[in-house]
Amino acid sequence: MANIRSRSGLLWKKWGRECMFFATGFGFLLIVLLPSLNSWKKESDMIPKHFPGTSPGDLVDLTLLQSSKVKGAVCLDGSAPGYHLQRGFGSGSNYWIVHIEGGGWCNTLESCSLRKNTALGSSTFMEKQVPFSGFLSSNQSQNPDFFSWNKVRIRYCDGASLSGELEDEVQGYGLFFRGQRIWRAIMDELLLKGLANAQKALLSGCSAGGLATFIHCDDFRALLPKGVTVKCLADGGFFLDEKDVSGKRSIKSFYHEVVSMQGVSKNLRKDCVSRVQPSQCFFPQEFITGIETPIFIVNSAYDWWQIQNILAPDDADPHNDWLKCKQDIYNCNLDQLKVLHEYRSSMLDALEPFQHSKNGGMFINSCYAHCQTWKDKTWHSPESPRLNNKSFYSKVN
C-alpha cells in the first residue's frame, strides 16, 4: 500500500463502505472538457438498475428507430434500436451529450440468445421511460454545467459495445450482430435532430458503453462539422487484459470469442489490428494513445466489476475463497489485499503511456465502484470521491 507513485495525488478517502483504500489519481489535466461543460453471463450486473436522487421531471421517453430496420440496424433479436432524448434549452440549446449505456457482452450463440430476451438485446423489453441523473440530470444544483444541454442515452442492445457487424442473420438462433449499424443509424438520426448544428458535443459511456466510447470517439468527431468542439468521456470502460486469480486470462479468451463471433474486427482501429490480433484491440490500453479526439477517463483502480469478473471470476475461484472479499472489501485478508493492490498497479501501468498524450486527462480513484458519472451522489455532491480536494466533476469541467 505504501508504494504510491510520486506523480500521483494521494488522499485517504472513506466514501461510505466503498472507498476503502488510498485514493490515487494522476494530478494533472491536459484538457478541459467542454468548459461550462456465470460471471461472464452477468451482463445485467453492468447496467444501472436505479438512479438515486432523480425526480419525476428527469423521466425521458424512449424513441425507437423503426426506419433503421431497412438499413439492417437492429438489436440482437431483430427489433428496432432505441434512445432517449431530452432537449436542451437556453444557453445549452446547441450543446450535446451523447451517452452510451453499459451492459456487458455475449460471447456465444447461447448467451446471446438468452440476452435477446432482455432489454440488453431487444427493444421489446426496454423501459418506455428512464430517469436521467448525474451528468445527464436537468437539475441545475446537481449538474450546474450540463443541466441545460441536449442529452441522449443510447440503449445498448447488441452485446459487443456497438461494434459488431455480420451481414447475415444467424440461422437457427434468430440473432443479428449489427452493433456498428446501430451506432451509425442513431448518429444519423441525431444529426437530423440537431446534433449537426452543435457547437459543443461530448460522447460518453458507462462500462461496456465506456468501451464503446473509446472505440467510437474519433468516429464521433468525424461525423460532426469542422469547428465543433468535440470531446469524449469514458466512465468505467478501461477493462484490463490481466490474469485471473487462477493464472488464466479469462477476459482475453472472452473478448476473443466476442470479436470473432460478432465480426467486430473490421470496426476496430486499423493501426491496432495491423500489429496485434483483433481481439487485443478490444482492450483500450492497446489503442488509447492513438485516439486523436480529446478524451477524459474516469475509472476506479479497484473497479468492483473488474475485480469480480476479471480478477476473481467464479470459474477461477471454485472454492469461493474470494466470495466474501468480492462482496465486501472489508472482508479481504492480507493476501487478497495484496492481489488487489497489484491489480491497481497494473491499471496505473496500463494508463502510463496515456499520461504523455496531449489530448488526454484522467481521474483514477480507488473506490470500490463501477461507473460514477451517472450517479448524483458521485457526480456532484459533498460525498463525491475527491483527489487533492478535487472531484472528477471539477476535473471534467
Is 240 in contact with 303 (CB distance < 8 Å)?
A: no
Query: Which residue is listed with cell 470479436?
Result: 259
Tens-place pLDDT, residues 112-126: 999 999 999 999 999
Is 58 in contact with 38 (CB distance < 8 Å)?
A: no
Q: Would you write out the chain's pLDDT as a tens digit for each of its 397 residues?
A: 222 222 222 222 333 444 533 333 322 232 223 322 222 333 333 444 444 444 444 799 999 999 998 899 999 999 999 999 999 999 999 999 999 999 999 999 999 999 999 999 999 999 999 999 988 999 888 888 899 999 999 999 999 999 999 999 999 999 999 999 999 999 999 999 999 999 999 999 999 999 999 999 999 999 999 999 999 999 999 999 999 999 999 999 999 999 999 999 999 999 999 999 999 999 999 999 999 999 999 999 999 999 999 999 999 999 999 999 998 888 999 999 999 999 999 999 999 999 877 788 998 888 888 998 877 666 766 566 665 666 555 555 5
Q: Which one of 58, 77, 158, 303 is the catalytic residue?
A: 303
246 a catalytic residue? no
Kindly list the distances between the CA atom of residue 139 and the CA atoms of 107, 158, 198, 265, 397, in Å, as whole numbers in the listed order. 39, 31, 22, 40, 17
303 a catalytic residue? yes
Look up the pTM and report it: 0.86
207 a catalytic residue? yes
- The CATH code of the domain at 8-396 is 3.40.50
Domain-wise residue ranges, the chain: 8-396
Kindly list the distances between the CA atom of residue 252 and the CA atoms of 47, 239, 261, 282, 283, in Å, as whole numbers in the listed order. 22, 10, 14, 9, 9
Q: Which one of 138, 370, 376, 391 is the catalytic residue?
A: 370
